[in-house]
Amino acid sequence: MNTSDTNISNEESKIYKISIKRNPRYIVLTFSMVMLVLLDIALFILLKNPFFIVAAILMVLLLSYIFYILKSVLSNQITLHYDHFSYKQSKLESEDIYYKDITLAGIYADFLKMYRDNSKKLAIDDGFYIYSEKLDKYLLIGVGFDFYEELFKNLEEYCKQYGAVWKNIQKRKKITITDELREILKEKYESS
């Protein structure tokens, strides 16, 4: 392998973390919940109805649970190494995927919408997918990571360098990425 073609040498690794700035839905959800708690408390004070304080307490419990879930979501990180990448989904879950095991890779997005809008930006539910026949699983890496363009570019370089087939997938309504991958693999086996 020629590491001079990539940005990462054998000695260093590049870490990409999920960013709250790239995931505005979490900020909106948290803000909405806080506003609802404050509204319930205000209504309790104004109307002296105990229902509102019970609702506020339940909202605080729900908000605590959302923060707990949010903490685990925001702990996701991808570390690129010269021969594999590590995908840490939580403190306890981590997975190493070797580039040599990746069969298919590409971008999963609504390219027609991007063309119509004259945009090169991926939407919030688009991403970079990889599929490993050896592991018989796929992974979709979303755009919620800081510097996701750089991450996708580095992954693309490594995947191509290790011989993965590059195929972008057009996102369509009512058809999942799993269905698309199934069709691609079906075509591959029928042609061979």
DSSP string, 64-119: HHHHHHHHHHTT-EEEE-SSEEEEE-SSS-EEEEEGGG--EEEEEE-HHHHHHTT-
How far is Cα 171 from Cα 140, in angstroms, rounded to an integer?
13
Give the pLDDT of residue 11.
Answer: 52
Tell whether 37 and 123 lie within a shared domain: no
Number of structural domains in the chain: 2
Whether 66 and 149 share a structural domain: no
In a domain, 31, yes or no: yes
Residues 68 and 119 occupy one common structural domain: no
Domain enclosing residue 36, as ranges:
24-73
Tens-place pLDDT, residues 61-73: 998 888 888 777 7
Is 0.85 topped by the overall pTM? no
Together in a domain, 142 and 181? yes
pLDDT, position 158: 95
Which residues in the chain land under pLDDT 50? 1-6
Is the same domain home to 108 and 66?
Answer: no
Strands, E assignment, the chain: 14-17, 77-80, 84-88, 94-98, 104-109, 127-132, 137-142, 165-166, 169-170
**Do residues 106 and 58 share a domain?**
no
User: What pLDDT score was predicted for residue 10?
Assistant: 52
Within a domain: residue 2? no
Q: In terms of domains, do 45 and 133 share one?
A: no
